[in-house]
C-alpha cells in the first residue's frame, strides 16, 4: 500500500508540516502506538518479577510539547502556540516522516524504547523521561525534514 500521495499538496516548509491538522491527527495514532509498545517493552524489561506487561496509555501533551522544546524545533510550530499546539506539531512531524517512509513504526518504537530510562511507573518521572526519549526521536528526524522555515 502506497500512501505518500497524502503528502502531495503540502509545501515542504517546516511551518506547513508542523501546523497541518490532518497530519497531526494521523500522527496522534502513530505516537500512541509507538509509545504504548515501547513503554510495554520497557516495563517488561525493568520488571523485577519477569512479568510481561502490555499497556496502551496515551502520550500526554506535556510529554510531546516538552520534547519539541528540548529538540529545539519550535520553528515547526504555530507562532505563540500553547502546549497543545506544540504537541500537535510533534504528531504532525511523526506522521510526515512515516508517510514519506523516512522511518518505520518499528524503528520509532526502537528509538523510544532505547531512550527510556528510570522508573516511569511514577508519573512525574515518566513525563520527564518520555519527553527526553521523544526529543531524541525528533533529533534523529531533523535531517529528513525541510530546512525552509516558512
Residues near a copy of itself (CB under 8 A) = 1, 3, 5-9, 20-30, 32-33, 36-37, 40-41, 44, 51-57, 99, 105-107, 109-110, 113
| Rounded least distance, CB 40 to a copy of itself, Å | 6
| Rounded least distance, CB 102 to a copy of itself, Å | 15
Q: Are 39 and 58 in contact (CB under 8 A)?
A: no
| Rounded least distance, CB 116 to a copy of itself, Å | 13
| Rounded least distance, CB 124 to a copy of itself, Å | 22
Distances (CA, A) of 123 to 1, 15, 25, 78, 111: 38, 32, 25, 28, 21
Which one, 14 or 96, has the nearer CB to a copy of itself?
96
Backbone angles phi, psi at 41, to 5 degrees: -65, -40
Give the three-class secondary structure for 122: coil
Which one, 69 or 110, has the nearer CB to a copy of itself?
110
Q: Dmax of the chain from CA atoms?
A: 51
**Residue of 50, 75, 63, 30 whose CA lies nearest to 131:** 63
What distance in Å separates the CA atoms of residue 115 and residue 46, rounded to the nearest whole number? 14
| Rounded least distance, CB 72 to a copy of itself, Å | 26
CB atoms within 10 A of CB 56: 11
Which one, 2 or 80, has the nearer CB to a copy of itself?
2
Which one, 48 or 80, has the nearer CB to a copy of itself?
48
Which one, 54 or 142, has the nearer CB to a copy of itself?
54
Amino acid at each position: 500500500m502506497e500512501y505518500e500521495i497524502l503528502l502531495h499538496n503540502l509545501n515542504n516548509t517546516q511551518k506547513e508540516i508542523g501546523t497541518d491538522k490532518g497530519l497531526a491527527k494521523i500522527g496522534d495514532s502513530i505516537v500512541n502506538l509507538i509509545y504504548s509498545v515501547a513503554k510495554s517493552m520497557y516495563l517488561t524489561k525493568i520488571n523485577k518479577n519477569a512479568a510481561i506487561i502490555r499497556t496502551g496509555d496515551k502520550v500526554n501533551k506535556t510529554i510531546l510539547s516538552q520534547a519539541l522544546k528540548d529538540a529545539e524545533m519550535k520553528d515547526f510550530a504555530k507562532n505563540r502556540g500553547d502546549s497543545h499546539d506544540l504537541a500537535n506539531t510533534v504528531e504532525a512531524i511523526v506522521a510526515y516522516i512515516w508517510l514519506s517512509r523516512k522511518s518505520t513504526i518499528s524503528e520509532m518504537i526502537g528509538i523510544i524504547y532505547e531512550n527510556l530510562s528510570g522508573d516511569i511507573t511514577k508519573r512525574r518521572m515518566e513525563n520527564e523521561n518520555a519527553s527526553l526519549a521523544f526529543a531524541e526521536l525528533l533529533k534523529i528526524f531533523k535531517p529528513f525534514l525541510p530546512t525552509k522555515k516558512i
